[in-house]
Amino acid sequence: MTLSQIFASRASRMQASEIRELLKLLDRPGLISFAGGIPDPALFPASEFATAFANGLSPDTQAQALQYSVSEGYLPLRQWIVGEMAKIGVPCSADNILITSGSQQALDYLGKVFLSPGDTALVGWPTYLGALAAFNAYEPRYDQLTANGNRKAESYAEEAENAGGQVKFAYLSADFANPTGETLDQRGRESLLDLTESLGCALIEDAAYQSLRYDGEQVPPLLSLEIARKGDIEACRTIYCGTFSKTLSPGLRVGWVVAAKPVISKLVLLKQAADLHSPTLNQMAMHEVAEEIFDGHVETLRDAYRQRRDAMLAALDQYMPANVSWTRPEGGMFIWVTLPTEMDGAELLAQSLESIGVAFVPGRAFFADGSGGNTIRLSFSCSDESEIRTGIEKLGGLLREV
Amino acid sequence: MTLSQIFASRASRMQASEIRELLKLLDRPGLISFAGGIPDPALFPASEFATAFANGLSPDTQAQALQYSVSEGYLPLRQWIVGEMAKIGVPCSADNILITSGSQQALDYLGKVFLSPGDTALVGWPTYLGALAAFNAYEPRYDQLTANGNRKAESYAEEAENAGGQVKFAYLSADFANPTGETLDQRGRESLLDLTESLGCALIEDAAYQSLRYDGEQVPPLLSLEIARKGDIEACRTIYCGTFSKTLSPGLRVGWVVAAKPVISKLVLLKQAADLHSPTLNQMAMHEVAEEIFDGHVETLRDAYRQRRDAMLAALDQYMPANVSWTRPEGGMFIWVTLPTEMDGAELLAQSLESIGVAFVPGRAFFADGSGGNTIRLSFSCSDESEIRTGIEKLGGLLREV
């Protein structure tokens, strides 16, 4: 008997993802990659971090920086986040905030705290595949979240009960979502709040890309709309997941959760048992850099990524055959491409890597039901405009051939 | 309906720990604390870390340091660990190693990968309470691990089956364990390997304190004894959890797991879904500092902590009443004190904080069955010899009064 044979049943739902395997390709020389949903490292505020880490390790704070610390997270950083949340219509206190090791960890913890095997999670078809990976460990059933109000709460609740559980939460990224790039309008958000209220479930708002808007009007976050309805975060079902990964640095692994205190208190206990706390020094450095440059740095990112988005949309307009369509995101890092029904994104990727050296992510992995074979995700965040133009021209050429 | 009402059933087993509440007391002025199992911050290699973080953020490596990275961990650090493991009789390769955010995260992940609700975990009475907290999330049953061979595998297996699951692993810290300070001798280790082999289960070796031996002969790690039996780590059931938290810095959250490749591969997928990876820069800095000073720094720690242990043992000999007994650890940070049967460690703590200002950890939290009320854990790692002498004298005085 090997140890693999005695793994818990949940382990069978932990499988290698396509994105992970693709990340290994990014180093291949000459490859044009629209695959990774990662920020451009040339835009990291590296010298500011160098100063902040040096300050954190100065004689006054080095003992705190290197020692064990509380599970809630570094208080000045939580207080800074309180200020940022207030700016987007979310009045709250530091007790409403938990620091996590990136928002990926928040998704894992939220799956852990809400999902018993057989419970239902509502997710978009497609949705962020890392969310599916995080939730899978807790063996949920998925149902398709539609934010247009077309499907009634009773229908969701009944099917969840038939499957032996209940709807525990709806999950979505409402702004420039990974993978579609799409934004849910205010009417859709209100409809979603109605739905989760009727279901008595939580609503997980993944705000990973929220501050990366390139044009158009900001739509209020789901949490701010719910607070506007109810007057107080303590009465809210929305759980907001933020991160510095798309703005300051992903590698330092600092994100946060904002929610009513009973949810945060339970997540703090969960984090204490799971990894004690996120690294103290990283939180101190993130706080210093955020306090100094956040708004200006985000403006720099917006200017850079806006140009790349524009370049990619222009190239798609110019080079794609007529039977291919795509989204026009107002922010974020992704454009979602729909190929003719009979085509397969994964097969296209294999051909593309072999014949033209262009990488992207096949869309099927983002669908909890395994559909979406004729979709692909393009990221414009890590390529310059000339690469974007060249890569899309090649991809358009390949699509005309196959 | 509030969100707390729809938490998963596992959430009811995530409760506040006494140690966590106690950590809040450590800042109280004038308090002598033997409570926290934490390293002395005065002994952190802070200037070496300052250099290493600056190097990590230098132009050549800053992009890597701040960017997303692979879930396995930073390869040079894993290779350095390969070298350290070879020195303690564990030949392995980098593919046998996963970097975790402290060994606490390794315990969480091992619970997650092995335990279905109702499965049995074998743990000491007492054991590390953070391990119980980590495993609790996966709703196991606990049975008492005895390493003297007195209880047969059949008995464990039968009771596990009656409880609706199977024995998935035995967990222990074999060297200077938290909380007892005790070390399992080689005969006990061989007996434990026999037991887990008969049960077909895993054996989790928590090596948190292993390098902090102050006298006596090193006993080979369980993993090295199993490799000696079987010839190859790939045939082994032992899963070794190491950490830099007790040697270089806990706040940076860097630990590791060493095991057969199928176990590591599954843990890598689990980590990818749970937090993507541990912070890249922290791993780079830990690697640089470890490579430069590890052996010498551990020697410094041993010298410092040995003196404190000796001071505490001498003070206990001098000041404790005759009806109190304690362990004599050869390393680590803890001495385990057994009070007269009718006394309660938690009540003693309340009295002690009020009347003499001395803190320690009541023992009951370390027992999965809620026994051990008449025990307390003393840590000598963070107090100087004069504080130790004063604190133990006061505690001895209190024990004579109550």
Distance from CA of A252 to the nearest CA of B (A): 5
Write the residue in B14, B101, B260 that is nearest to A101 by C-beta: B101
What is the pLDDT at residue B77? 98
> What is the rounded distance in angstroms from the CA atom of residue A67 to the CA atom of residue A280?
8
Distance between alpha carbon A56 and the CA centroid of its chain, in Å? 29
Lowest average pLDDT, out of A31-35, A257-261, B251-255, goes to: A31-35
Is ipTM > 0.90 here?
yes
CB neighbours (10 Å) of residue A86?
12
- Give chain A's mean pLDDT: 95
Task: Please answer whether residues A249 and A86 qualify as being in contact, where contact means their C-beta atoms are separated by less than 8 angstroms.
Answer: no
What is the pLDDT at residue A116? 97
CA atoms within 13 A on the CB side of B190: 6
Structure tokens at B211: 């390098």
Tens of pLDDT, residues B11-45: 999 888 655 665 566 667 889 999 988 999 999 99
| Distances in whole angstroms, Cα of residue A105 to Cα of each of A67, B53, B101 | 22, 24, 12
Tens of pLDDT, residues B331-348: 999 999 999 999 999 999
Write the residue in B16, B54, B253 that is nearest to A269 by C-beta: B16
| DSSP three-state, residue B238 | strand
In sequence order, the 6+-apart residues with CB closer than 8 A to the CB of B394 are: B32, B356, B357, B358
Structure tokens at B305: 């902590």
Contact list, A105 vs chain B (CB under 8 Å): 274-275
Tens of pLDDT, residues A356-377: 999 999 999 999 999 999 999 9
Counting one residue from chain A and one from chain B, the pairs whose CB atoms sit within 8 A come to: 260
| DSSP three-state, residue B256 | strand
Contact list, B46 vs chain A (CB under 8 Å): 57, 59, 62-63, 66
pLDDT of A27 strictly over 80: no
Tens of pLDDT, residues A214-241: 999 999 999 999 999 999 999 999 999 9
Contact list, A245 vs chain B (CB under 8 Å): 68
What's the CA dihedral at A339, A345, A350, A355 to 10 degrees? Answer: 10
Question: Closest chain B residue to A65 measured between Cα atoms?
Answer: B251
Contact list, A136 vs chain B (CB under 8 Å): 273
Could you give all domains of chain A from N- to C-terminal order, each with its CATH number? Answer: 3-45+295-401 (3.90.1150.10), 69-293 (3.40.640.10)
What is the pLDDT at residue B30? 86
Distance from CA of A341 to the nearest CA of B (A): 30
Phi, psi torsion values for A225, nearest 5 degrees: -65, -35
What is the pLDDT at residue B147? 73
In sequence order, the 6+-apart residues with CB closer than 8 A to the CB of A49 are: A248, A249, A252, A285, A289, B57, B62, B66
> Residue-wise pLDDT tens for chain B (402 aa)?
699 999 999 999 988 865 566 556 666 788 999 998 899 999 999 999 999 999 999 999 999 999 999 999 999 999 999 999 999 999 999 999 999 999 999 999 999 999 999 999 999 999 999 999 999 999 999 999 987 778 999 999 999 999 999 999 999 999 999 999 999 999 999 999 999 999 999 999 999 999 999 999 999 999 999 999 999 999 999 999 999 999 999 999 999 999 999 999 999 999 999 999 999 999 999 999 999 999 999 999 999 999 999 999 999 999 999 999 999 999 999 999 999 999 999 999 989 988 999 999 999 999 999 999 999 999 999 999 999 999 999 999 999 998
Average pLDDT over every residue of A242-251: 98
Task: Please answer whether residues B280 and B64 qualify as being in contact, where contact means their C-beta atoms are separated by less than 8 angstroms.
Answer: yes
> What is the rounded distance in angstroms from the CA atom of residue A262 to the CA atom of residue A113?
12
What is the pLDDT at residue A19? 56
* Contact: A16, B114; criterion CB under 8 Å: no
Maximum CA extent, chain B: 64
Question: Closest chain A residue to B38 measured between Cα atoms?
Answer: A68
The residue whose two tokens read 């077309």 is: A150
| DSSP three-state, residue B312 | helix
What is the pLDDT at residue A402? 81
pLDDT of A18 strictly over 80: no
What is the pLDDT at residue B148? 75
> What is the rounded distance in angstroms from the CA atom of residue B6 to the CA atom of residue A120?
12
